[in-house]
Amino acid sequence: MNGERDMEQERRHRAIAVWLLVVVAAVFGMIVLGGLTRLTESGLSMVDWKPVTGWLPPLTEAEWEEAFAAYRQYPEYALRNVHMTLAGFQEIYWLEYLHRLWGRMIGVLFAVPFLVFLARGWIGRRMGWRLASVFVLGGLQGAMGWYMVLSGMVDRPDVSQYRLTAHLVFALAILAALLWMAMDLLSSRRSPSASGGGEGGLAWGARGVLALVVLAITAGGFVAGTGAGFTHNTYPLMEGSLLPSGLYAMDPWWRSAFEDLTTIQFQHRHLGELTGVATLALWALGRRRGVRGTAATALDVLAAAVMAQVGLGILTLLLVVPIWAAALHQAGAVLVFGAALWSVHQLRPAPAAAAAVPATA
């Protein structure tokens, strides 16, 4: 009887985990779409936010003319696109519309199965509150996106790098919460000896790499928000030097980290390099200590993803940020983040892993 009950519980865990991973994939797609709207300068084409009723695009010629007239009232049209035609406006509008529609679809993709699982009693109180919190965070993410867009409708047609980076970090937080819960469910029957659990040094090393990944992505948000990638398009030197002039020269000095193009790019490129070195060190230590099973696979994937991401970042810089390379670089950053989170999860000490198995019944 207990065996049948365990099998049923495992089946439920697997079903919920698959649903969560589908939502994770949708969030990943949302982040990639968001990067494309920024790179193609499409994000300011929709000048209003109707979270409930705004899921339909303009359907008639008159509605398109009305939307275009509203766009022409804002700085992006006057300063960049004054010669834009209605056809050109429609090109940038559709990408931003798809981005917003995708966000609404994620909400439905999350809410409907959540309510079904809840009604069936498959989700316990603890996980129910965690999932409800993620749903609220998703709503706040939509509001944060509109708050970001508003910053590009005042004096200049560029969104605030602070708000853009906050929007990106919010997305990573949502993805991390969903992915972590899915991994908990899928690893509920994990054997610590197979995963390498209990290696305290490796566990802390994985957490350190994850922290570096988050810092590098955050720094990349400021690069994207300020256009710092279009300057100093040489590698490894900047202005012919490892330490370019003007670093942290603003008053107060800390503003340079967020507003000076040279400093912003300097930080991002060297955080990326540091992340690469730390990842290889963690991978080598795992090999030396004989980590095996899924934990070894997680470290292999992380090392490969980080090395590919560093190479792609250098290529993007040297090619002066073509859209295809920049989009791949942003997508790669999210994949590296996921691989780092997976490594942290797999390398947790065994007692913590056992205690973290969620109750869903």
Please state the three-class secondary structure of the chain as a single string.
Answer: CHHHHHHHHHHHHHHHHHHHHHHHHHHHHHHHHHHHHHHCCCCCCCCCCCCCCCCCCCCCHHHHHHHHHHHCCCHHHHHCCCCCCHHHHHHHHHHHHHHHHHHHHHHHHHHHHHHHHHHHCCCCHHHHHHHHHHHHHHHHHHHHHHHHHHCCCCCCCCCCHHHHHHHHHHHHHHHHHHHHHHHHHHCCCCCHHHHCCCCHHHHHHHHHHHHHHHHHHHHHHHHHHHCHHHCCCCCCCECCECCCCCCCCCCCHHHHHHHCHHHHHHHHHHHHHHHHHHHHHHHHHHHHCCCCHHHHHHHHHHHHHHHHHHHHHHHHHHCCCCHHHHHHHHHHHHHHHHHHHHHHHHCCCHHHHHHCCCCCC
> What is the distance, to the nearest Å, from the Cα of residue 68 to the centroid of all Cα atoms in its chain?
31
Same domain, residue pair 83 and 199: no
Tell me the residue range of the domain where 112 lies.
Answer: 1-186
Same domain, residue pair 10 and 137: yes
Question: Using CA atoms, how far apart are residues 219 and 161, in angstroms rounded to an integer?
Answer: 10
Average pLDDT, the chain: 90
Same domain, residue pair 250 and 141: no
Averaged over 145-156, what is the pLDDT?
89
Asked if 270 and 232 touch (Cβ cutoff 8 Å), the reply is: no
Question: Using CA atoms, how far apart are residues 126 and 283, in angstroms rounded to an integer?
Answer: 34
From 155, 171, 186, the end of a domain falls on 186
Residues in the chain: 361
Same domain, residue pair 159 and 246: no
Asked if 102 and 33 touch (Cβ cutoff 8 Å), the reply is: yes
| Model pLDDT, residue 87 | 94
181-203 residue pLDDT tens: 999 999 854 444 334 444 568 99
Same domain, residue pair 196 and 58: no
From 186, 217, 252, the end of a domain falls on 186
From 186, 210, 228, the end of a domain falls on 186
Listed in sequence order, the residues at least 6 apart from 229 whose beta carbon sits closer than 8 Å to its beta carbon are: 223, 265, 316, 317, 320, 321, 326
Lowest pLDDT segment from 207-216, 231-240, 327-336, 351-360: 351-360
| Model pLDDT, residue 357 | 41
Lowest pLDDT segment from 146-160, 256-270, 302-316: 146-160
Same domain, residue pair 229 and 114: no
Same domain, residue pair 181 and 228: no
Same domain, residue pair 198 and 332: yes
Query: What is each CA distance from 199 to 101, 300, 307, 314, in whole angstroms?
Result: 44, 17, 24, 34
Same domain, residue pair 293 and 334: yes
220-259 residue pLDDT tens: 999 999 999 999 999 999 989 999 999 999 999 999 999 9
- pLDDT of residue 157 exceeding 90, the answer is no
Total structural domains within the chain: 2
Which one-letter amino acid corresponds to residue 48?
Answer: D
10 pLDDT tier (thresholds 50, 70, 90): confident
pTM of the model: 0.91
Averaged over 207-211, what is the pLDDT?
97
Same domain, residue pair 348 and 220: yes
Same domain, residue pair 279 and 237: yes
165-169 CB contacts, 8 Å cutoff, 24+ apart: 165/218, 165/221, 165/222, 165/225, 167/34, 167/141, 168/31, 168/34, 168/217, 168/218, 168/221, 169/214, 169/217, 169/218, 169/221
Same domain, residue pair 118 and 174: yes
